[in-house]
Amino acid sequence: MSGSAGQLRVPVDYLRESDFPLAPLAEQRRIVARVDALFAEIAEGEAALDAARKGLDTFRRALLKAAVTGELTKDWRANNPVTETGQETGHSLLARIRAERAAKGQTKGRGKRAADAPPLDTAALPELPEGWAWGTLGQLFVVTTGSTPSRSDPSLWNGEIPWVSSGEVAFCRIRSTHETISRAGLGNADTRLNPVGTVLLAMIGEGKTRGQCAILDVAAANNQNAAAIRVSATPIPPEFVYHVLEERYFRSRRESQGGNQPALNGGKVAEMAIPLPALSEIAEILRRLSDAMSAAGDTLAMLDAEAADAARLKQSILKSAFEGRLVPQDPADEPASAMLTRLRATPSTAKPARRGRRAKS
């Protein structure tokens, strides 16, 4: 290979000297027609696979919307009315968590995001099912932002503490990180080290990064471009908050027509509204989401396997074509050797390729 400016180029001499199988001209035409016909059939199948993937994406978004609006568990509530079972409602759960945070002194100071803030104005928010309540992330959880130790001080890096960059917050569970920091790089462990079960939200980033979330499966610190929502300090499962943020991401991306929503910061994250059902209904929501998404994941894996089969089939068709096995041979066809002899006897009218550009005078 040769080339310039970082581009690789196949040498012309290599192309001139390369051998390749040459079929009779009539057979070449039959091969091309057959390849075109088979590839057209494969293209139809690939289009159907793409449509199925889009259908799964639409299904996932509709599923998440049903989950956070209560539609997914409408039948469950009918069989488990809060007025008769005596279970804790979303309103009482919100009040209990706020009271517990106030008792622990988690209402003021950096990163606490005012658990004692006034009630949320729900006038512009959708109506929730009976027993559900609107709260904010800051009312329910400690919300902090991270930091990045100085890159100029090697002693702050490559330690035993996982450190999450916002690019790693990508709708996933985080079990390991690309980088680690030292105890000195961490600083105050109480405010910087997030426990297992913390939900991270990317606040800044181009493209798809901003608004994506993740759940920590390891205690870790994070950079300043992600908010840490310490859900595990409450009885609310981190997975519920994760799915609420996931639904919000898809909705805000759609509403902003390409993702041009304003950049987030810790304060805006704390002010985000979250629908809060009873804990028992949250458990049912997560069970139904898990079952449905598992089935969708199996379907997606099947679609991916079929797409890989289609790609392999194309290669197999081409291999058969150049081995003379794709179409039948006809003894009446002019031999390729005769065609090649005729081509060699025909003077070439092609002009040699010009190398480089002539400088302007």
Q: Identify whether residues 227 and 315 lie together within a single domain.
A: no
pLDDT given for residue 278 in this prediction = 95
Judge whether 223 lies within some domain. yes
Distance CA 115, CA 227 (A): 16
pLDDT (mean) for 59-70: 96
Q: Into how many domains does the chain fold?
A: 2
Mind giving me the DSSP string for 219-272? -BEE-TTEEEE-GGGSSS-HHHHHHHHHHHHHHHHHHTTTT-PPPP-HHHHHT-
Q: Identify whether residues 262 and 324 lie together within a single domain.
A: no
250: Cβ–Cβ under 8 A, 6 or more apart, which residues? 61, 64
pLDDT (mean) for 157-161: 97
CATH code (residue 252)? 3.90.220.20
Q: Identify whether residues 73 and 155 lie together within a single domain.
A: no
Judge whether 9 lies within some domain. no
Q: Identify whether residues 291 and 239 lie together within a single domain.
A: no
Q: Identify whether residues 251 and 266 lie together within a single domain.
A: yes
Residue 229's nearest CA partner among 119, 112, 120 is 112
pLDDT given for residue 180 in this prediction = 97
Judge whether 17 lies within some domain. no
Q: Identify whether residues 270 and 285 lie together within a single domain.
A: no
Q: Identify whether residues 51 and 38 lie together within a single domain.
A: yes
User: In terms of residue numbers, what domain contains 153?
Assistant: 89-277
pLDDT (mean) for 206-220: 90
Q: Identify whether residues 110 and 69 lie together within a single domain.
A: no
Q: How many CA atoms lie within 13 A of 139 on its CB side?
A: 22
**Burial (Cβ within 10 Å: 0-12, 13-18, ≥19) of residue 131:** buried
Give the total residue count for the chain: 361
pLDDT given for residue 110 in this prediction = 43
Judge whether 11 lies within some domain. no
Q: Identify whether residues 93 and 217 lie together within a single domain.
A: yes
Q: Identify whether residues 253 and 189 lie together within a single domain.
A: yes
Judge whether 355 lies within some domain. no
What's the pLDDT tens digit per position in 302-346? 999 999 999 999 999 999 998 999 999 999 999 988 888 888 888
Whether the per-residue pLDDT at 82 is higher than 80: the answer is no
Q: Identify whether residues 242 and 162 lie together within a single domain.
A: yes
Report the SS3 class of residue 321: helix
Judge whether 1 lies within some domain. no
Q: Identify whether residues 191 and 304 lie together within a single domain.
A: no
What's the pLDDT tens digit per position in 281-297? 999 999 999 999 999 99
Report the SS3 class of residue 311: helix
